Amino acid sequence: MRFIDTNLFLRYFTRDDEKRAQDVLELLKRVERNEEKVITSPLVIFELVFTLESYYKVPRKEIKKLLQPILDLRGLRLDFKDLLESALELYSEQRISFT
């Protein structure tokens, strides 16, 4: 099982390195088809939200739209997934910190 860190998700979302973004897309497709199992952590999700909002200036609702399909991946293991989904919903609708 492979650990997915913040940088991989950022390459996919920002496409600042198209080759790496494509590689990550292929990995995520395998994870969705349950051909490959991966794991990430709540800390990675927190860091991803923070970086997308503060550095890349992505609006909150757009961050939710980007992250929800990731959280829904069949082959993704993520502790506290339900709690993170609830926090993401609140974060996108209200002026509260994701953390």
Query: What is the value of pTM for the model shown?
Result: 0.90
CA 86 – CA 97 distance, rounded (Å): 13
pLDDT digits over 40-71, tens only?
999 999 999 999 999 999 999 999 999 999 99
Nearest 10 degrees: Cα torsion 7, 12, 18, 19: 70
User: Is 29 a domain residue?
Assistant: yes
- pLDDT greater than 90 at residue 36: yes
Into how many domains does the chain fold? 1
pLDDT score, position 62:
97
- pLDDT greater than 80 at residue 8: yes
User: Is 51 a domain residue?
Assistant: yes
The token pair at 84 is 């993170």
pLDDT score, position 24:
96
User: Is 98 a domain residue?
Assistant: no
Domain enclosing residue 23, as ranges: 2-93
- pLDDT greater than 80 at residue 37: yes
User: Is 12 a domain residue?
Assistant: yes
User: Is 14 a domain residue?
Assistant: yes
User: Is 99 a domain residue?
Assistant: no
